[in-house]
């Protein structure tokens, strides 16, 4: 039996919990069962010098206020039976400790485990990565203790982020808009014909211009009462904030030298954002490798980045989920327009945000890549 800690009741007394109640009722705490620290538990400093502990499996927040409480939680790095930990203590301490462990259990930090040390809910949770479950639980209503949704007006705690990113250089390439060919498919026909295609034929600048004009230009700008600009594009955006930026990395596009270009959605033009180099080569190679089948670099790699603060001022903890949903809306738009133009579109599942930030000399936390997409030209 594990030795019982000698603990002053006032050091153990119930940790503060958030006043917001979780919509996810806790299961009953059974101190006669073995418990471990959940693999989903996180500990971080709170605003008042406490350590905030929580788990996305449950949603309550627990404030650990002193080293005794932290040490008690850490004992469960090894499975422990709470009843055994408190055996031999006087009634007041026993009650205080079991109450504390009960709070830890209700916050999802302590979870019952079987004799092999496996969490009782192992089968239900096995497919969840820690970061995925935390993201899922915190960006949707239900068990999260935080408000999820828009705040109005946006928080002053964050500096406003302008609707349009300042150009890195003078306008360099103005783009054609393209014309609608008489044999272009209808929307329904484009939807039915849409496929991920793996072609490395060169992309004409006319086609690239038509693609960017139809998918990504800003079609309207509206100024709000507080002076911010809300945008309209052909794909939707939460709160009309449109925080995505689009970069073009051509390898075989007649009329464009290699490098990285930023798409200016109001001017329908490309601005040189970075020259070629090892980081750009790495991005192209990762995209090629991500297809599992291209032998050459993609003719054009498109990278979507997000200027997060523009979304976070209004949507706080919901922001990242909104950004990724917007990437999905942009991807389908890219697919359909590329299909209509006879180009070869394919989404790529992930990319290297550090390489991208380094290639462009941008701050990872201010603007980071969130989506990659490749384009091949028309059939030869
Ligand atoms: C979000 C997303 C990520 C994708 N990632 C990749 C990828 O990394 N590599 C790839 O070759 N295809 C990728 N694809 C394309 C899928 O493999 C493709 O959509 C799927 O095989 C169905 O084929 P279809 O698009 O022709 O209908 C991705 C598609 C989506 C929507």
Q: What is the DSSP string of 338-377?
A: HHHHT-EEEEES---HHHHHHHHT--TTTEEEEEEEEEE-
> What spacing in Å lies between the alpha carbon of 303 and ligand 1's midpoint?
15
> What spacing in Å lies between the alpha carbon of 130 and ligand 1's midpoint?
25
285 close to 298: Cβ distance less than 8 angstroms: no
User: What pLDDT is stored for residue 226 in this prediction?
Assistant: 80
User: What pLDDT is stored for residue 143 in this prediction?
Assistant: 86
- Over the stretch 187-223, which tens digit does the pLDDT of each residue have? 999 999 999 999 999 999 999 999 999 999 999 999 9
First to last CA, the chain: 76
DSSP string, 88-147: TS-HHHHHHHHHHHHHHHHTTSEEEB-TTS-BTTHHHHTT--HHHHHHHHHSSSSS-SS-
Q: Beta strands 220-223 and 344-348: pairing type?
A: unpaired
Around ligand 1, the residues with Cβ closer than 6 Å are: 195-196, 290-292, 331, 346-349
User: What pLDDT is stored for residue 3 in this prediction?
Assistant: 46
- Over the stretch 133-149, which tens digit does the pLDDT of each residue have? 999 999 999 888 888 99
User: What pLDDT is stored for residue 13 in this prediction?
Assistant: 79
Atom of ligand 1 nearest to the CA of 291: 11
Instruction: Kindly state the DSSP code that residue 27 receives in the 8-state scheme.
Output: P
The helix (run of H) or strand (run of E) holding residue 270 is strand 269-274
User: What pLDDT is stored for residue 21 in this prediction?
Assistant: 56
152-173 burial, b for 16+ CB within 10 Å, e for fewer?
eebeeeeeebebebeeeeeebb
Atom of ligand 1 nearest to the CA of 349: 5
Q: What tokens were used for 308?
A: 């997060």
Give the bridge partners for 187, in sequence order.
none
| Regions in the chain scoring below 50 on pLDDT | 1-6
User: What pLDDT is stored for residue 306 in this prediction?
Assistant: 98
> What spacing in Å lies between the alpha carbon of 291 and ligand 1's midpoint?
8
- Mutational test site, ligand 1, from 195, 347, 372, max ligand atoms within 8 Å of CB: 347
> What spacing in Å lies between the alpha carbon of 147 and ligand 1's midpoint?
34
Give the bridge partners for 203, in sequence order.
253
- Over the stretch 87-112, which tens digit does the pLDDT of each residue have? 999 999 999 999 999 999 999 999 99
ipTM surpasses 0.90: yes
Q: Beta strands 203-204 and 173-174: pairing type?
A: unpaired
User: What pLDDT is stored for residue 170 in this prediction?
Assistant: 76
Atom of ligand 1 nearest to the CA of 328: 1
Chain length of the chain: 380
Nearest CA to ligand 1 atom 3: 349
Atom of ligand 1 nearest to the CA of 293: 11
Q: What tokens were used for 373?
A: 């997409």
User: What pLDDT is stored for residue 6 in this prediction?
Assistant: 47
User: What pLDDT is stored for residue 171 in this prediction?
Assistant: 65
Instruction: Round to whole Å and give the CA distance between 58 and 144.
Output: 8
> What spacing in Å lies between the alpha carbon of 322 and ligand 1's midpoint?
21
User: What pLDDT is stored for residue 2 in this prediction?
Assistant: 43
Instruction: Round to whole Å and give the CA distance between 31 and 130.
Output: 26
Give the bridge partners for 112, in sequence order.
35
Atom of ligand 1 nearest to the CA of 195: 26
> What spacing in Å lies between the alpha carbon of 181 and ligand 1's midpoint?
27
Instruction: Round to whole Å and give the CA distance between 205 and 227.
Output: 36
Nearest CA to ligand 1 atom 15: 347
The residue with tokens 């990242």 is: 320
337 close to 327: Cβ distance less than 8 angstroms: no
Determine phi and psi for 194, rounding to 5 degrees.
-55, 130
Nearest CA to ligand 1 atom 26: 195
> What spacing in Å lies between the alpha carbon of 260 and ligand 1's midpoint?
24
Atom of ligand 1 nearest to the CA of 197: 26
Cβ burial of 323 (10 Å; 0-12, 13-18, 19+) is buried
Q: Beta strands 269-274 and 300-307: pairing type?
A: unpaired
> What spacing in Å lies between the alpha carbon of 371 and ligand 1's midpoint?
12
């Amino acid at each position: 039996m594990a030795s019982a800690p000698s603990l002053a009741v006032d050091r153990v007394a119930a940790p503060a919990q958030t006043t917001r109640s979780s919509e996810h009722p806790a299961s009953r705490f059974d101190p006669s069962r073995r418990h471990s620290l959940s693999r989903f538990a996180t500990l971080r400093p709170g605003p008042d010098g406490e350590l905030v502990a929580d788990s996305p499996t449950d949603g309550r927040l627990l404030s650990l206020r002193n080293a005794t409480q932290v040490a008690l939680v850490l004992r469960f790095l090894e499975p422990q039976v709470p009843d055994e930990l408190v055996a031999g203590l006087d009634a007041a301490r026993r009650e205080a400790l079991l109450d504390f462990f009960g709070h830890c259990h209700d916050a999802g930090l302590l979870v019952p485990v079987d004799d092999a040390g496996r969490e009782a809910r192992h089968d239900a949770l096995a497919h969840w990565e820690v970061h995925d479950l935390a993201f899922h639980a915190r960006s949707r209503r239900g068990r999260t203790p935080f408000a999820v949704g828009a705040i109005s007006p946006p928080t002053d705690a964050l500096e406003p982020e302008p609707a349009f990113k300042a150009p890195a250089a003078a306008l360099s390439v103005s783009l054609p808009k393209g014309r609608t060919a008489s044999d272009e498919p209808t929307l329904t026909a484009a939807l039915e014909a849409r496929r991920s295609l793996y072609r490395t034929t060169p992309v004409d600048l006319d086609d690239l211009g038509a693609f960017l004009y139809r998918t990504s230009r800003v079609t309207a700008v509206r100024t709000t009462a507080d002076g911010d600009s809300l945008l309209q594009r052909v794909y939707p955006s939460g709160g009309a904030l449109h925080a995505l930026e689009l970069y073009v990395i051509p390898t075989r596009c007649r009329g464009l030298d290699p490098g990285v270009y930023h798409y200016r959605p109001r001017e329908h033009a490309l601005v040189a954002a970075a020259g070629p180099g090892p980081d750009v080569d790495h991005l192209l190679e990762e995209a090629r490798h991500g297809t599992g089948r291209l032998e050459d670099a993609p003719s054009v790699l498109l990278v979507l980045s997000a200027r997060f603060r523009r979304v976070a001022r209004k949507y706080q903890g919901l922001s990242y989920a909104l950004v990724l949903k917007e990437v999905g809306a942009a991807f389908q738009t890219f697919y359909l327009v590329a299909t209509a133009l006879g180009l070869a579109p394919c989404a790529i599942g992930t990319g290297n945000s550090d390489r991208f930030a380094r290639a462009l000399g941008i701050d990872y936390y201010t603007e980071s890549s969130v989506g990659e997409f490749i384009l091949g030209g028309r059939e030869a």
